């Protein structure tokens, strides 16, 4: 059994000495959504005997803190022990112990195996839609992928779930990486609606329709997703086609298509800022874990963390 997560610790509501602005850094996220509705989707206790475990929401919030501060489970345990803001966000009193790294790791595995991370993301987005933080009508879908290097590289000794993926590096040269392709469907404001993760050698175009639900008003994507099959699917679902056109050596693009590609690229390029943020600040350039399922779970947590931070900023800006 796990402890309940129902009341704010008195440490942070009755002690004037701890009333410092730095402790309120995450208050916007705290008040952004209805957390009890979210907790219903999290893994429950195992039913083992012994003292109650930490509340599922405490552990889930700890995972978010680990993501936002790019901490390993060991470093996250240490930070929970010494950082008042971390304790406040996870509702941990000063006289209470903190989850061990192994406890955090086991919860992450349980969360991944539950298959509920997609539902958690949908619940958050649904609440943000109801609060008018996310636009309800005329939603633009921007789909793109980024490479995530596997925890262990190489065909023989690398992660067997990964695959080789060729990308152009910063010097303009082709470079092969052993890893995964992580996909997102975002709106024009940068809120993530869906994610997927495939081996690096799987063609991007095969994952596009699975990221959409047909409610999108317009689709933006780069030329890697350009095919007659995709255009037929978009037309059948009454979605405006803003997928960039692809030229070939024997069939160059006409000027009007090149102009459309440039215009489309302005909107489509917004997804690159999200990928860049995740990789630079959250350590998502390389997976910490072996296996596609665990790597995807971490990417889903990153999507959830992205929407919570962005939602808090948006609501503060328009209040």
For 31-84, the pLDDT digits (tens) are 999 999 999 999 986 445 445 589 999 999 999 999 999 999 999 999 999 999
Query: Residue 15 above 60 pLDDT?
Result: no
Does 136-293 carry CATH code 3.40.50?
Answer: no
Q: Tell me how far CA of residue 218 lies from CA of 111, 211, 274, in angstroms.
A: 33, 13, 20
Q: Tell me how far CA of residue 286 lies from CA of 125, 153, 156, 198, in angstroms.
A: 27, 10, 18, 14
- The alpha carbons of the chain give a radius of gyration, in whole angstroms, of 21
For 292-310, the pLDDT digits (tens) are 999 999 999 999 999 999 9
Interval 1-10 mean pLDDT: 63
- Residue 115 pLDDT: 95
For 160-206, the pLDDT digits (tens) are 999 998 776 667 777 888 999 999 999 999 999 999 999 998 887 88
Q: What ranges do the domains of the chain cover?
A: 11-114, 136-293
For 244-265, the pLDDT digits (tens) are 888 776 778 888 888 888 888 8
- Residue 89 pLDDT: 95
- Residue 51 pLDDT: 52
């Amino acid at each position: 059994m796990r402890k309940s997560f129902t009341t704010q610790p008195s440490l942070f509501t009755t002690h004037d000495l701890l009333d410092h602005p730095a402790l309120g850094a995450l208050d916007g996220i705290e008040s952004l959504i209805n957390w009890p509705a979210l907790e219903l989707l999290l893994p429950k206790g195992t039913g083992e005997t012994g003292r109650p475990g930490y509340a599922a929401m405490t552990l889930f919030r700890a995972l978010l803190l680990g993501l936002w501060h790019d901490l390993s489970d060991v470093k996250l345990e240490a930070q929970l022990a010494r950082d008042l803001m971390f304790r406040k966000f996870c509702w941990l009193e000063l006289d209470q112990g903190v989850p061990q790294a192994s406890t955090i790791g086991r919860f992450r595995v349980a969360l991944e195996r539950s298959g509920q991370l997609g539902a958690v993301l949908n619940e958050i987005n649904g609440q943000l839609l109801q609060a008018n933080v996310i636009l309800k009508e005329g939603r633009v879908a921007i789909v793109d992928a980024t490479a995530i290097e596997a925890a262990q590289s190489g065909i023989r000794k690398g992660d067997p779930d990964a695959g080789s993926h060729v990308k152009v590096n910063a010097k303009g040269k082709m470079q092969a990486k052993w890893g995964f392709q992580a996909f997102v469907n975002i709106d024009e404001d940068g809120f993530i609606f869906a994610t997927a993760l495939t081996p690096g050698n799987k063609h991007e175009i095969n994952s596009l329709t699975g990221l959409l639900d047909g409610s999108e008003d317009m689709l933006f994507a780069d030329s890697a997703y350009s095919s007659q099959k995709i255009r037929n699917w978009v037309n059948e679902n009454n979605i405006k086609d803003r997928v960039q056109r692809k030229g070939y050596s024997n069939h160059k693009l006409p000027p009007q298509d090149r102009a459309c590609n440039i215009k489309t690229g302005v909107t489509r390029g917004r997804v690159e800022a999200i990928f860049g943020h995740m990789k630079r600040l959250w350590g998502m350039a390389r997976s910490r874990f072996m296996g596609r399922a665990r790597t995807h779970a971490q990417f889903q947590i990153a999507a959830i963390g992205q929407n919570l931070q962005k939602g808090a900023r948006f609501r503060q800006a328009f209040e």
